[in-house]
Structure 1
Amino acid sequence: MTSVRSAHALLRLLAWMSPAFPVGAFSYSGGLETAVNDRRVSNAVELDGWIDLLLHRGTFWNDAVLLAQAWRCQTDDEALMHLAELARALAGSAERYRETVLLGDAFRDAAAAWPHDVFERLGRETPYPVAVGAIASAHDIALDDAIAAYLHAAVSQFVSAGIRLGVAGQKDGVAILARLEGAITDVAGRAAISSLDDLGSATILADTAAMRHEIQETRLFRS
């Protein structure tokens, strides 16, 4: 019975983090488009470094910490509400705010195909990592697995954006995913034992790129 439950949890996680899951993540670049436009990211090596920094010190790290906290408090209405408020406050620009709440709402709506009372505790405009963490916990998905899958999906989306922006090819993208496996595993492990005191970033160029994207004239992405 345990193995069947584990298989169901794995299949749900694979479905939720699949590029085909209807959250619209492909529409966003998290400021990468501006970094490419400014020539701060102009090749696969620089794309790799940009993503690696976000994993260890930027938005990906903060998302992982928020996801872990949501996973732990998914049965507590008030704690989830306050966590969602904090996650919204951490969005560094209007576009980043819209990105996280629209992705969160889309994830919540699509994941409701797997019924659970957790959806009654998640209001509208629940940021994406909070929604993923709470729903994953409700469906008995291990915390380490949920964080690792979330980070892998985020990295994959940035790689895909880099390919679409012309700074890397598909073989380069696969190589980046392979190289960052260790970083994803490390960050997921640290985030799984983190607390909200561990929130914080040191990626000023990435944060300001996300802000400046709002006034960029020619755009492929919504952020």
Structure 2
Amino acid sequence: MSLALARLLQLASPALPVGAYTYSQGLEWAVESRLVHDQATAGEWIGGLLEEGIGRFEAPLTACLQRAWIAADLGEVTRLNDEFLASRESSELRAETLQMGYSLRRLLHDLDDFTVPAALDALPETAFPTGWALAAAAWQIPLADSLTAYLWSWCENQVLAAVKAVPLGQTAGQRALLQLGGRIPAIVQRALLLPEAAWSNFAPGLALASSLHETQYSRLFRS
């Protein structure tokens, strides 16, 4: 268990060289438009996406990807990878997951004692959740733990983007993370049980923010 935990901490670390810190997923535009302007509005924006966007689609899909890798169900891996790519509603969101997926795949190839299955390299395009789920499966990380870390890593990156863009103080950022982190266990449990027919990535605010960010004049982030 301690080795699996160590591997999970490595996978969820901001030091993972996939470039996550360069993306805000539309949050920068929300700051520019003053929809997000302080700790409270940042928490509302990030928390809303956590509950109704990533928590209802990306989280259950990532869980199913890990199950598919464990079962060596390569057809299901391909289907879910394609479904996630098709769900990206702006060119920036699609480019983000492809760049991070590519970087994670390259990293896994470079790690000692990690065998990258041919099925991953056979994918024409690799979404980030697909590579993440593979690593979690290969390192025998319990599904609930890996999904918790996945959501935590997403929240942490969003809060760090808010700290830079609003800007928020470091203490305000930690307060936001405490509040967001407290919501993750229930979201994980729901995601693990949510049937695919009930998945939903209906988040028009995110889609609009991401699309408008593409033409934003001054930008710190790539999305």
Contact 1:23 1:107 in 2 (8 A): yes
Q: Distance between the aligned counterparts of 1:103 and 1:189, measured in 2?
A: 26
Q: Equivalent residue for 2:104?
A: 107
Amino acid at match of 2:119: R
Alignment of 1:153-164 (within 5 A): 153-164=153-164
Q: Distance between the aligned counterparts of 1:59 and 1:203, measured in 2?
A: 9
Higher mean displacement: 84-93 or 161-170: 161-170
Alpha-carbon offset, residue 124 of structure 1: 4.9
Q: Structure 1 length normalisation: TM-score? A: 0.92
Amino acid at match of 1:34: W
Amino acid at match of 1:67: T
Higher mean displacement: 44-53 or 114-123: 114-123
Write the deviation string for residues 104-129 of structure 1: whole angstroms up to 9, x where unpaired. Answer: 12122223315444532213521111
Write the deviation string for residues 85-115 of structure 1: whole angstroms up to 9, x where unpaired. Answer: 1110000100000101111121222233154
The share of aligned pairs that are identical, in percent, is: 33
Q: Equivalent residue for 2:28?
A: 33
> Structure 2 vs 1, CA of residues 203 and 149 (structure 1 numbering), >3 Å: closer, same or farther?
same
Contact 2:81 2:126 in 1 (8 A): yes
> Structure 2 vs 1, CA of residues 22 and 221 (structure 1 numbering), >3 Å: closer, same or farther?
same
Give 5+ residue unaligned stretches, structure 1: 1-5
Give 5+ residue unaligned stretches, structure 2: none
Alpha-carbon offset, residue 83 of structure 1: 1.1
Contact 1:23 1:106 in 2 (8 A): yes
Contact 2:36 2:45 in 1 (8 A): yes
* Off by >6 Å, runs of 4+ in structure 1: none
Alpha-carbon offset, residue 167 of structure 1: 3.4
**Which SS does the other structure have where 2:13 is aligned?**
coil
| Alignment root-mean-square deviation, CA | 1.5
**Which SS does the other structure have where 1:215 is aligned?**
coil
Write the deviation string for residues 15-61 of structure 1: whole angstroms up to 9, x where unpaired. Answer: 11100110100000000011111111011100011111111101354
